[in-house]
Structure formats: structure tokens, C-alpha cells
Chains A and B, each alone.
Chain A
Amino acid sequence: MNKEIDEIIKNSESLIEMLQKIQKIDGYLYFERLFYLSEKLDMSLEDIYSTATFYNGFSFNMKGKYQINICLGTVCYVKGSKELSEEISKILNIKDGECTKDGKFSLDTTRCLGCCSMAPVMKINDDIYGFVKKEQVKEILAKYN
């Protein structure tokens, strides 16, 4: 496990880059790995933690196999994306930032995916869905099984 981190340290220019790569391994920042990173960099865990928590891009919670991101940028908001997130919460029985018990889906809201002219927009892993209607959510989720 630590070998991966050694590689990451060697090939990264900054702490943020390291954290981004570490997050890719587990889908979130696994604390044990940060311990090791802190030792290796001779940097306090507090410093690493305070940097990681500063950015929305880092998570300390487990993510689902399928990560759902609902865009809550201004345009999506005006076009009702909040209803999408509520609908998904209802269907999957999880709140924003949580993951289903079977580890399949996690739900997050994000500030603008830059696809504003297709608002409202949601993203599941790398698939972006535009002009999503509340009634379509169930159908879209069913694709991920």
C-alpha cells in the first residue's frame, strides 16, 4: 500500500497534486494513507488535513461505485436542479455527501460543471446528463446496475 504513495510523492509537484492522486486510489482520502504521507513528507498531519479540508474536491467519506454529482450552479439552480437532488435522496435514501449502504451510489452536489446551457445537469462518474427532468431520474439510475 505504501509503495503507491512513495511513487506519488516522487512524481508530484505539490501537496495538492499528491492528495489528488491519493484520492484516486480509494475514491476518497483514506486516513492511514495520510499518516504515511505525513511521515514521508515530514509534514504535520494537521497541515495536510487543513489543506485537504480547504478544498471541496477532497473527501474523507467513502464514495459509491457510481458517484452522482448534481450541479447546483446558478443556471441549474434556476432551472430546478435542487428537485433532482431531492428526488435522488428519496430514491436512494441517502443525503447529500452520503453513500448507499451497499456502496453502489454516493450523492454529492457540485458548483457548476460548466454545462450551463444544458441545465439542469447531473453527472454519474464520467457520464454527463443534460436537460434532466425529475421523472427521468429513476430511469437514469437504473442504467447503473
Chain B
Amino acid sequence: MDNTTLIAFAINAFLVQNIILTQFLGLCSFFGVSNKEESALGMGLSVLFVITVSSVVTWLVYNLVLVPYDLTYLRTIVFILIVSALVQIVEMFIKKVSPILYKSLGIYLPLITTNCAVLGVALLNIDNGYDFSHMLVFSMATAFGYTFIIYIFAYIRDHLDKAQLPRALRGVPIALITAGIMSLIMTGFI
């Protein structure tokens, strides 16, 4: 595969097929943590790290263990166990190596296990039949797209909180409508 198609593929995964706005994955954290820009960035970076590592591990396990032994039906169980074990390991590793980083990311890590973006990307890699390089590019670009959107959204939401809205519209309803308008921008690419 030559480089230009791989770059186009990365941009496609980053913006056009954005994981939050067009694939509807990772929405709980998108609406839950995106109140402050700082915490949005922290969550985004932890997810970026976990998605990349877990995609590589799940892809390898799927193609080297599950496919040769004809165990592909165990995919869901194996993947979720890998993801939750990985999150635990990453948490312990960061705690040991960099306590400062742990302090800023620590609270988000346990939440990532149930973040559908992580399991979703692992499953999409398999469903779309990517080879190793495409898998790596796809998961990293997708995770960057996640961080990018969650960060921008946190900024917008910060301003929305100050705006005078009808009481019923405050909170999640206006956040949903804003996300809809952001997603309209992405449809412009198609």
C-alpha cells in the first residue's frame, strides 16, 4: 500500500468517519466528561493510548490465536477481557512510572473499560478486515479524531453553560443539538 492512500485513509478515519459524530461510539464519555477542557484533554489522551495498545493486542490475538484455532465466536468475550486487563496494566504502569501523569489521568482510566470507543475500534478493525498497517493507522487516526472532537466540544460547552437558555434545554439536550450541528460539518466531506 503506498503512502498517499494511507494518508487519505487516515484523514478519512480522523474526520470524515469521525468516531463520535458519525459512528456514535464513545458517547457516554463525550457527554459525561466534556465539561472542562482540561479533563476532556486528559480523557482524550488516555483513550488515545488505550485504543492504540488494545487495538494492536486484540488484532494480534484475533489473527494469531482465534483464527487458527477456529475460535472466532469467542471474539466479544476475549476482547472485553483484553481491554479491561490492559486498562488495569496501564493504570498500574503509569502509577509506578509517572505519579504526576497518574494524578491527571488516573480518574479516567477505570472509565475507559466501559467506553464503547475502545471495544468498538477493536471490533471495527476485525469487521473491516484490515491488515496490520491499516489497523494501526485506523486506530490511531480514530483515537486522534476522538480527542480532537471531545476537546473542541468541551470548549463549546464551556460557553454554552454561560448562555441563557430555556431551563429544559440546558445540559444534555443542548449538547446533543450542538453535536448534531458539528456532525453536519462532517457530512459536508462525503
Do A and B interact? no
